[in-house]
Amino acid sequence: RITRQFSFLLINNTILINKMKFAVACALLTSSVSAFGSFGTKKAAVPKVVKPVFSVDTIPGALDPVGLFDPAGFAAKADEATLKRYREAELTHGRVAMLAVVGFFAGEAVEGTSFLWDASVTGPAIGHLAQVPNLFWFLLATLIGASEQRRAEIGWVDPKDVPFDKPGLLRDAYIPGDIGFDPLGLKPTDPEEFFLLQTKELQNGRLAMLAAAGFLAQELVDGKGILEHFSS
């Protein structure tokens, strides 16, 4: 009887050990399959919404109560690259207009005197360019060409690196109008002050464009200089 009981216990222990081994093997197999499955499966990437740095909500030049004056909706329909080109064009035209307004006053102030081409240039400012010698045109073309080449090198991506459907692409880090010309050191280092200065330049440029157009129209109508209108 003792022998039978011992044999029965031995058989039970063997069965229990085998069951434990089988359970451990199943657990290891399950974890291996799970690990292999997780290794081969990639989590779906959550798309990041990147807001454009240069947009209608962040660009300078918008003042209350009008805000960003865009009645034709050009800025609202433009992407970031196109909007930067629009702003570059506006700044360039504004700067040229400011120089033109100064040129109207300065040219008419000295017209007919020996200071300006030995008194050979006279009359309203709109007729001065037709009276200057050829040397002036050579110097003017050289200056404009050198300035535009420098501006293109600073602000624009090299044409050989530009996609076919994106002509005139500006550099990502380029701030429209910031070509490094600051001989008086007026550019502030504080971002808020720089933003305010950009708005002031835009406003002056816009006013100058209107003024230059008005000067041209007025002198074409009656043939009198702007300073002559002020003195009469």
Torsion angle in degrees (nearest 10) through CA of 158, 160, 162, 167: 90
CB 227 within 8 A of CB 218: no
Q: pLDDT tens digit string along 183-198?
A: 999 899 999 999 999 9
d(CA 60, CA 78): 16
Please state, in angstroms and rounded to a whole number, the distance separating the CA atoms of residues 155 and 148.
Answer: 10
pLDDT in tens, 204-221: 999 999 999 999 999 999
Give the pLDDT of residue 201: 95
C-alpha 141/C-alpha 129 separation (Å) is 13
Q: Is 125 in contact with 226 (CB distance < 8 Å)?
A: yes
CA pair distance 143, 145, nearest whole angstrom? 5
26-57 pLDDT, tens digit each: 544 454 544 444 444 455 555 554 455 678 88
Q: In this predicted model, which residue has the larger pLDDT, 32 or 82?
A: 82
The model's pTM: 0.74
Which residue bears the tokens 């090299």? 158
